[in-house]
Amino acid sequence: MAVASMLGTLAGMIPLLAVGVTFLRYSAVDPESHPVNVRNVLPEYDFVVVGGGSAGAVIASRLSERKDWTVLLLEAGGDENEVSDVPALAAYMQLSNLDWKYQTMPSRNRAYCLGMNGDRCNWPRGKVLGGSSVLNAMIYVRGNRKDYDHWAALGNEGWSYDEVLPYFKKSEDNRNPYLAKTPYHATGGYLTVQEPPWRTPLALAFLEAGEQLGYDNRDINGARQTGFMLAQGTIRRGSRCSTAKAFLRPVRLRKNLHVAMYSTATKVLLDNSTERGRPRAFGVQFSRDGVRRTVRARREVVLAAGAINSPQLLMLSGVGPRDHLASLGIPVHADLPVGHNLQDHVGLGGLTFLIDKPVTFKRSRYQTMPVFLDYVLNERGPMTSLGVEGLAFVNTKYNRDPEWPDVQFHFAPSSVNSDGGDQIRKITNLRDRIYNTMYKPLIPAETWTILPLLLRPRSTGWVRLKSTNPAHYPQIEPNYFAFREDVNTLVEGIKIAMNVSATPAFQKFGSRPHTIPMPGCGKYSFMSDEYWECALRHFTFTIYHPAGTCKMGPQGDRSAVVDPRLRVHGVDGLRVADASIMPTIVSGNPNAPVIMIGEKAADIIKKDWAQKAR
């Protein structure tokens, strides 16, 4: 939502921006020329990677480092464009042709998304080379050390924090010297990480407020997570650094790597007549230009299509819950809990504060020609903003471990009203009644936002097929707030957010909460626990972090779909490597962890095949 609020601010200049950026970046020989969309797919490759997103781009790049291996990367979408490069226009990519445009199912007990049209929350997912790393706010957060140690404690050998940290560092090219020199960061990797070159004065007030509340200003990706920090992002020279830009463009000339765009995988091909008596993946069926095609994989098929598409593809292929597949007439090759364990970070949208000074990010202030020229000519200025300027990890009274915070804050110098009502209401699917009552009166005002998110929800949902037609989107049921503890924790997180506004750091700007009650919640006393719970159930907000639907776990874990080496249980030649394998969702934005999963997956595959060759 924070990035969305910048959308309308600059959207009016998008056509001019695209022309300017295109001319300046592509009029000469571009050292980052885009990957070639191969037209003639070979009948067979060593590896077929499905999904060119945050993990898939990494896996394809790393596997093709072996010159004796051939790799095909199938991507349902096309390439990035010049507008997607602009950080402040991130939300403009949502609801575009780069987005799958998923929506949740309405809550059967009216527990969430009640303030959205049709009681459905939008769930953007990247349908583009680079995947959701092209749509997201570029926030670089790794999660908590204890997330990964917990994975290892569940029986996932090799996934402790000390074992995954080298893979975070392998990718990273951190451009902030005060971080790059620490043991937790690295330089020289494909993925550029840095603070954006521009921010509002409120960003430093946010850090100061954290200190006044007793929290340290620290590297949240370092030794300890609890605290406040200026946001770091995957940006390079003021522009987005997606995984396609980071991992595919530099290797675009490799003869053994083919990238096929606009190629939607519809089925993993499985052979049941193997000597081992268990199915083996031998290829992928995909649709391109309206024609059904197949490609064979000599060694493996690797699914990296994300927490929605990977389970959908497995179930369409006969790998999933027996009862569900049988109800659709799909022959069952492996009875596994595919699509279960869906987890997401959920919070309260629209938590808005007003100030008196003209320092917020709003349309009337930054939709100007000087802003446009500063970006096009210097790659600086407001258009380089991530939208989210500050991050915090805090502990509510329900948290038993102060080193494993249970709520995350995203601070933005803008709110739902900051674009004048043009785009945010579409992106959030917010009902007109809520927008017109709460936010339309604030269009002339100076506003800022904190988005409090629940880091480790107890409530889990599921992804199920609607039909056997691959073109039919699956049912997404997040099942938010099924556990009372999730509501209670978020309400306490909201109270801490209110305290941020009350600090001397923000009182210098005259900060105070927006007090128009949420429609549907007027019967409760404003700012009471009951009011905040009602607000959560209406303006249910997610920044699109689905995970867990192909859970990783050891042999014998009946809730697991893949083993710790990411092999699908009971199926040979098939792995999954994306956010869906997370046993429990990480404590923070998952893009960096998914890139890590891609790095580690490629390394695991290389080691496994090297061992077979001995």
Which pair of structure tokens corresponds to residue 336?
């596994």
Residue 460 CB-half CA count within 13 A: 19
Strand pairing class (334-335; 346-348):
unpaired
463-493 per-residue burial string, b: 16 or more CB within 10 A, e: under 16: bbbeeeebeebbebbbbbbbeeebbebbbbb
- Tell me how far CA of residue 421 lies from CA of 122, 430, 468, 570, in angstroms: 17, 11, 39, 51
Residue 459 CB-half CA count within 13 A: 21
| Residue-by-residue DSSP string for 175-211 | --HHHHTSTT--SSSSEEEB--S---HHHHHHHHHHH
How many C-beta neighbours within 10 Å does residue 401 have? 11
Which bin fits 201, alpha (ψ -120 to 50), beta or left (φ > 0)?
alpha
Residue 368, amino acid: T
How many C-beta neighbours within 10 Å does residue 357 have? 12
Helix (H) or strand (E) run with residue 520 in it: none
Which pair of structure tokens corresponds to residue 182?
């620490």
**Rounded distance, CA 71 to CA 69, Å?**
7
Bridge partner residues of 37 (DSSP): 259
Q: Mark whether 150 is an active-site residue.
A: no
Residue 126 CB-half CA count within 13 A: 32
Do the Cβ atoms of 236 and 245 come closer than 8 Å?
A: yes
Which bin fits 138, alpha (ψ -120 to 50), beta or left (φ > 0)?
left
Binding residues for FAD: 128
Please identify which of the residues 150, 514, 545, 569 carries the catalytic annotation.
545
Which pair of structure tokens corresponds to residue 263?
């190629």
Binding residues: 128
Catalytic residues: 545
